[in-house]
Amino acid sequence: MNKSEKTLSYEFKSLIKRLRIKQKKFFRDLYQSLYLIIYTKNNLKYKNKVDLVQNEFKNIYYDVGPEHGILHGLEYDGASTHCNQCLFTIARLLNAKNVLEIGSYHYRTANQLGRAIDKNIGKNESGDVITIDIIKGGYDNIIKDEHIWNHRVKPYFWYAYKTDDTKNLSNLELDNSNMENKDIVKENIKILNNILEKNKINFFDLIFLDGDHTYEGLKNDIEIVKNFSTRETLIVVDNIWDERMLDVKQVFDELTYKKWNFKEFNDKHYHKNQVQDTGIFIFNT
């Protein structure tokens, strides 16, 4: 097989793969829509959003295949990540309308969250995905072919904390050189307040924390988002099962709020390679 034949063979296989994924997404959307029609009223029995997800995620989740990452796991080593599908499913289950994402990284999850909102309320109704980062395009400062394709995704920037996660980063969108972390927290709250006022958002239905992965950084993010949450707001923390990010697990384990770490789901589905590297909680206020 010559070079041109190899190229054609690769392109054909890639096309078949994309078509299969598209087909799976079609059936996922159909299945989840039917589930919500049948069970939405029944799901009102749950006292809070954590109980809802803990009990119903397994029933509404429809896997469309592995994503781009491999988990260096504390318990589920080698499993493919399913972050986009997890967030999409949770947003559908909650009937989310306004979502906050901290840590944009090429806007992959933001686009999926926007698509979930479209499914929830229709493309013409108001609802936003506010995605915040410290560098354009995310942590590695490379956008490549990834871009914002969903009309609900609105990118913003705030100040980076001074932690081990950010000490070697350049090209920060906002200059934090003369600030301490306690001052950065205050300024970021002001930034987020202005964003909500601009977009006429009162609070978020869903918040995804995937920004600074140090102990102090994640604690700061939690302190900030508490100002924009209610008892009805579900917070999702990424990377709680990753052995490279033990600070994240420590912060999540120390939370005294109502929470769940997907362990029961992961234990059951590890052999199917459907592990979720996330945890969820709500503020008890």
Give all domains of the chain, ordered by start, each with its CATH number: 40-282 (3.40.50)
> What does the mean pLDDT of the chain come to?
91
Report pTM. Answer: 0.93
For residue 145, what pLDDT is reported? 45
Q: What CA–CA distance (Å, rounded) separates 202 from 209? A: 19
pLDDT digits (tens, 9 = 90+) for 53-89: 999 999 999 999 878 778 888 889 888 888 999 999 9
Residue with token string 């980076």: 160
Q: What CA–CA distance (Å, rounded) separates 21 from 66? A: 10
Angle at the Cα of 258 (from 231 to 182), degrees rounded to 5? 75
pLDDT bucket at 257, cuts 50 / 70 / 90: very high
Of 177, 140, 166, nearest to 220 (Cα)?
Answer: 166
